[in-house]
Amino acid sequence: MIKLDVMVLSPTDVLFEGKVRSVIVPGEQGVFEIQPFHKRILSRLVGGTMIIDGQRFLLRRGIIRVNQNRVTVVMEEDGS
């Protein structure tokens, strides 16, 4: 099974790194899901919950980049 290589970064730490089946994020135009073979994308993220194979991360804002089954998220954690 093909999986996504995912790395989630905060300004100070690596919050997640691994191979997963899907990533669900809150984008400016609504919530969307990234799965293997997703087309290239660069998008801003808004406050909400990011879900990586069932694991939840609260974020204040960030950006996501998807390119050839590699997903990189740079985010500010929601400390509230």
CATH class of 4-77: mainly beta
| pLDDT single digits (tens) 4-14 | 999 999 989 99
Percent of the chain's residues with pLDDT above 90: 92
User: What burial letters (b/e) apply to 25-41, b meaning 16+ CB within 10 Å?
Assistant: bbeeeeeeebeeebeee
* DSSP tally for the chain: helices H, then strands E: 0, 8
Identify the CA nearest to 52 among candidates 34, 64, 65, 69.
34
Q: So where are the chain's domains? A: 4-77
User: d(Cα 79, Cα 67) in Å, to the nearest integer?
Assistant: 29
| pLDDT single digits (tens) 42-68 | 999 999 999 999 999 999 999 999 999
pLDDT of 80: 55
pLDDT at 41 over 70: yes
